[in-house]
Chain A
Amino acid sequence: MAETAIEMVGVNKWFGDFHVLKDINLSVAEGERVVVCGPSGSGKSTVVRCINRLELHQKGAIRINGAQVTERPEDLGGEVGMVFQQFNLFPHLTVLQNLTLGPMKSRGLSRAEAEARARHYLERVRIPEQADKRPAQLSGGQQQRVAIARSLCMEQKVMLFDEPTSALDPEMISEVLDVMVELAEEGMTMIVVTHEMGFARKVADQMVFMDAGEIVETGPPAEFFEAPKSKRCQTFLSQILSH
């Protein structure tokens, strides 16, 4: 039995009066790939943002590799990687500098070590030739692959993806998904919030369906897609898979 990488127990969160997460229980084993889906506003992004402390929850416990998370995101020390919908690359730095900043400043790598690592991961996401450009000079798909490489450079055990393809033009989605599939095949622990159901079928070990701040249904993808148990999940799947 693999170790538990991420554990959420009875997690509740409110934005003011709005109860955005209701009793979230989720356990992700090391090496497991979890895909979270659900209608917009269901709280799925908030779940991943709570895991890496970009949002704080008010009730319940979140443990990463057995350790209780604290209030401050920097205490994670970059242990949990994150890929954002809007890429969030640093526009004033080159691609290479985007990748070396974290390893040099928080991991204490030398410039040479950090650059070697950065070039290695740029190779992995298949854009080594873009190292000296600025993010604004790249296409959306390339920017998101740089963002993935930036996260990989921290060599975390867990990576979170918050709708990584939602801001991309359709023709660029597959180049990002291909990279993500490779990562999954190499055994990276991943939690992916996405509407890309083809990707989910291919890589997910566990599907999570959220609606109105609750986890409504979980299960392996075969069951989840063929025979969803809840009415809400059936409706959602029929809506996004109908065309």
Chain B
Amino acid sequence: MFGARPVNLFLLCAGLMVLSGCSSSATWGWYVINPSTPTGWTNIKFLIGGMGDTILISLIAAALSITIGLLVALPGLSDRWYIRIWNRVYVEFVRSIPLLPMLFWVFYGLPIIFRSMGLNIPIDPFWGAIITLAISDSAFTAEIYRAGIQSIAKGQTEAAQTVGLRYVQTMRYVILPQAIRRILPPLANQFIYIVKMSAFASVIGMQELTRRANELVVTEYRPLEIYSLLILEYLVLVLIISAGVRWLERRMGSDERG
């Protein structure tokens, strides 16, 4: 019943929290984020201030992921095994690595490799999180692309070839425009996944939403209220993404029907 209108779910959650806040003030201490008090307002601004970094990390990581994912997916569609194998190796390897260890490896380990190669490429928490999220997610994006492209009938490729299109042109003008419409929903899922997983950036010191919540909990000792707000912040982000994707789908869908 909530699937069709996530807004309902949102209202329900918000309502429940407010209600429980009113009914047992011993459990809840909303003062910590009460916008009508100066401290509460400062705290709220501090917490919501992480929104920008969370969004930026997620957007850049998602953009990289759908690019890397496509580049990884294409060899996986070859009919030659020695090309296809590169896709399999990448996908199987990357998706076997848990996000947190990969984040540590990229943030603490990769700079050592760079230094040993004589390269001075510092990796700050911002880019460390983006690289990790993008690579980790790209294995899944690659599989989504592969399935989407494979779902386009072989006859489309054949028809493109008989009007003289080369491989890249066939992909660009015939296959991908059709495949994108089909893979938009699973790609959107992956984007939501990235937004949520960006919380891990907090452990390498990125001051995004989760890090700020943690820092405030340490000083205010009000984990219940602060983490509740944190969850709501992610909920709002995800609902906005969902709405955007539905809008995109409608636009593309009408295109297909003509």
Contacts and interface: CB of A to CB of B under 8 A. Distances in A.
Interface string B159-174: 1111111110100011
Contact of B165 (A74, A81, A133): A74
Contact of A106 (B156, B166, B257): B166
A190 interface: no
Contact of B164 (A54, A84, A154): A154
A136 B254 CA distance: 13
A106 B165 contact: yes
Given A74-B166, A74-B167, A81-B162, 4 more contacts: A88-B159, A101-B165, A106-B169, A154-B164
Closest 8 CB pairs of A and B: A78-B164, A102-B163, A106-B164, A134-B258, A88-B159, A88-B155, A82-B162, A73-B161
B24 to A, nearest CB: 57
Task: Sort chain A's interface into a size bin.
Answer: 20 to 34
A78 B163 contact: yes
Interface string A127-162: 000000110110000000001001101100000000
A86 B163 contact: no
A104 B159 CA distance: 15
Contacts of B67: none
Given A136-B257, A136-B258, A106 B155 contact: no
B166 A101 contact: no
B202 interface: no
A102 B155 contact: no
Interface residues of B, number: 23
Contact of A105 (B167, B169, B178, B258): B169
Contacts of A102: 163-165
B166 to A, nearest CB: 5
Contact of A77 (B164, B178, B181): B164
Given A74-B166, A101-B173, A54 B161 contact: yes
A78 B161 CA distance: 7
B49 interface: no
Contacts of B164: 74, 76-78, 102, 105-107, 154
A73 B162 CA distance: 7
A54 B165 CA distance: 13
A160 to B, nearest CB: 8
B185 to A, nearest CB: 17
A133 B156 contact: no
A82 B256 CA distance: 25
Contacts of B258: 94, 133-134, 136-137
B161 A74 contact: yes
A107 B257 CA distance: 29
Contacts of A153: 163
A105 B161 CA distance: 11
A41 interface: no
A34 interface: no
Nearest to A147: B159
A194 interface: no
Contacts of A53: 161
A84 B167 contact: no
Nearest to A90: B174
Contacts of A81: 162
B165 A105 contact: yes
B177 interface: yes
A137 B256 CA distance: 11
9 contacts: A73-B161, A78-B164, A78-B165, A88-B155, A89-B159, A90-B159, A92-B178, A103-B163, A105-B164
